[in-house]
Structure 1
Amino acid sequence: MQESRIKLESNGGERLDTFLRRELPLAAKIEGDFSNSKIRRLIMAGTIQVNGKVVNRPAFELRGKSSIEVRFDAERFFYEKQPDDVAFEMTDSSILHEDENLIFVDKPYNYPVEQTITGNRANLHDAVVDYLWKRNPSLRNPPYVGIMHRLDRTTSGVILFTKTRAVNGAVSELFQSHDLTKQYLAIVEDKKNVEKSFTVEMYMGRITGKSRQGKWGEVPESRGGQYSKTDFRNLRKITVEGRPCLLIECSLHTGHTHQIRVHLASRGLPILGDTLYGGTPAKRLYLHSEKLTFSLNNKQYYVESSIKI
């Protein structure tokens, strides 16, 4: 089935993902699993236009009468390759920090954050829900766990979930306004004359067209590229899987799909294990969410995770 363009009308007053979850199955006239994660991924892929402008935020608020166009390919929408995920059990040691509103978890690599298109797949969100419920078995229903941001399946490290809906708005605003610090660690093969610190700026977009495996790269702003910026710091030499490597600190100014991977590859420093962007095959893709820092309700959060080599 080829891509079609589906046009919808909204009177506003709700989130874009909520609207599409209800209206898209009716408009597409196709039976299938239109799950929350599929709808979010459809939006983030840049296939949705609201009043003629691409919107890639699931939480985008529809206001007033709006015209919505969806580029919809049913074959791609319902298809997803099943990768080899690691086995993971949520325990006390998986928690980096927790209070009455938030829980920070040390995510393993090669493990999805949430349920994916295929369904019935182990994921971190479900693991956190199960863990909190087992800790408080008197609850009649599963405890609430809100997803505020995501890490790629291959990325390890700090990830945040909310435990109460009351803080969702404030936390979501932190991520949308970039009023927080996100710092990553990447391991690249050692190359000569790598600067102690450097910055990469470019306009980015998807460069694989209809390929089922998404790949991003430099795309002119005139063709829909989005501005991206990352600061890098060459920390030290290390040996990983018998190879001489460099440990690179990555500080994000913006947050786009594969941003760190694309930026490092553009400097001839693809991440070890990142074969999509020219990296040498390895046991894993060595990208790690190291630190997450922000202030919420007059409380300062500084949560850190060490990369496991």
Structure 2
Amino acid sequence: MDKRFTLRFTATKDRQLLREALGEWRISKRALTAIKFEGGLLTVNGVERNVRHPLQIGDLVEVKFPPEEKSEGLVVEYGSLRIVYEDEAILVLDKPAHQSTIPSREHPTKSIANDVCGYFEQKGLASTVHVVTRLDRDTSGLLCIAKHAHIHHLTGLAQRGGEISREYEAIVHGHVVVDKQSIVAPIGRKDTSIIEREVREDGQFAHTDVTVLSRFDIHGEPMTHIRLKLHTGRTHQIRVHMAYLGHPLVGDELYGGKRTYINRQALHCVSLQMLHPLTSESLKFSSPLMADMKYLLNR
């Protein structure tokens, strides 16, 4: 059985070269190179053709992408995954706190990527992990993974076009005074750290919307429950922007928060909206807060 990821298209223009049609169908030049040299296949009406083949209206074009191999350093593991949605193109997961999205030097195993590799292996998919929306190790909630490089290419186009929307809920120190506000402040790496980021003039453009959900106190210490919408996806964006505002996330010691009541930053991706990369169907997923954040809100 051929396990290669396959897409089918119908030609709509007479005498159009196959290469031009594939470009209109958003098949990247990189994918075409891989198809040519790494075991893929292009057929027109069941006959193998090259990209210079002229099409006729109604021709059935089949694109078989080459089998994918995981990165050498990515260990296959078989941990449990909280699957919210799955089809031939994407996998949407609900990530727990204290689990990395991808392996790192400090945490080379037991990441979401390790477990997804094992899951794909068990399902017999000739594919590897392509993270579309990534979460920090101690952030919980929704994340999306593309099952194939071409799907990752399409979701990358969607992200650059602002067509993938994520919303988070967080608990921060202090009472945020303004009910609704936008933080537009560039973010870059801090000169004295390889991990920490900060708002700085030479940083990358970053935009976060903040809405206050409730203000409360725990043992006289003011806190605010907020909802955040990301318009950009910079590393540590929410954590940096809220610290810049003077309201670091509760539990976020890296950016000035305290772990008196929770042993990680109180941040959860509650909503993910996107158009399906193949069908353009509108998809919306939601995830309830984890128990540790609920506990803070109910004290």
Contact residue 158 and residue 304 of structure 1 kept, 8 A? yes
Aligned residue pair count: 218
- What's the secondary structure of 1:280's corresponding residue? coil
Q: Which amino acid in 1 is paired with 2:230?
A: L
Matches of residues 118-197 of structure 1 in structure 2 within 5 Å? Answer: 120-134=108-122, 136=123, 139=124, 143-191=127-175, 194-197=177-180
Pick the structure with greater CA Rg.
Answer: 2
Letter in 2 for 1:151: L
Moved more, 264-273 or 166-175: 166-175
Residue 289 of structure 1 pairs with residue 289 of structure 2: no
User: How far did 1:145 drift?
Assistant: 3.3
State the Cα distance separating 1:166 from its structure 2 match.
4.0
Q: 2:100·2:107 contact (CA, 8 Å) conserved in 1?
A: no
Q: Which residue of 1 aligns with 2:282?
A: 300
Write out per-residue CA displacement over residues 113-140 of structure 1, whole angstroms, 9 at most, x where no aligned residue: 1122367421101112323444x3xx3x
Shift of 1:190: 3.9
1:105 aligns with 2:93: yes
Aligned to 2:238: 260
Q: Where does residue 219 of structure 1 map in the other structure?
A: 200
Measure how far apart 1:144 and its partner are: 3.6
Answer yes or no: is the 8 Å Cα contact 1:90–1:128 preserved in 2.
no
Asked if structure 2 preserves the Cα contact closer than 8 Å seen for 1:37 and 1:117, the reply is no
> Would you say 1:272 and 2:250 are equivalent positions?
yes
Gaps of 5+ in 1: 1-12, 16-34, 39-87
CA distance in structure 1 between the partners assigned to 2:198 and 2:158 by the alignment: 26
Deviations 1:73-126 (A, max 9, x none): xxxxxxxxxxxxxxx9414xx111112211100111121111223674211011
Tell me, yes or no, if structure 1 residue 205 matches structure 2 residue 183: no
Is residue 107–residue 156 contact of structure 1 (8 Å, CA) maintained in 2? yes
Letter in 1 for 2:111: N
**Structure-2 change in CA distance of 1:37 and 1:255 (3 Å):** farther
The structure-2 alpha-carbon separation of the partners of 1:295 and 1:275, relative to structure 1 and needing over 3 Å to count, comes to: same
Tell me the CA shift for residue 203 of structure 1.
Answer: 2.0
Q: TM-score, length-normalised on structure 1?
A: 0.62
Offset of residue 149 of structure 1: 3.1
Shift of 1:14: 6.1
Distance 1:150 1:299 in 2: 22
Deviation per residue, 1:245-267 (Å, 9 max, x gap): 32110111112111111111122
What does residue range 32-51 of structure 1 map to in structure 2 within 5 Å?
A: none
Query: AA paired with 2:286?
Result: E
Kept in 1: contact 2:127–2:148 (CA 8 A): no
Which position in structure 1 is the counterpart of 2:51?
Answer: none
Deviation at 1:299, TM superposition (A): 0.9
Identity %: 27
Separation (CA, whole Å) in 1 of partners of 2:72 and 2:188: 21
TM-score norm. by structure 2 comes to 0.64
Query: 1: distance between equivalents of 2:88 and 2:217?
Result: 40
RMSD of Structure 2 on Structure 1 (CA): 3.1
Moved more, 226-235 or 289-298: 289-298
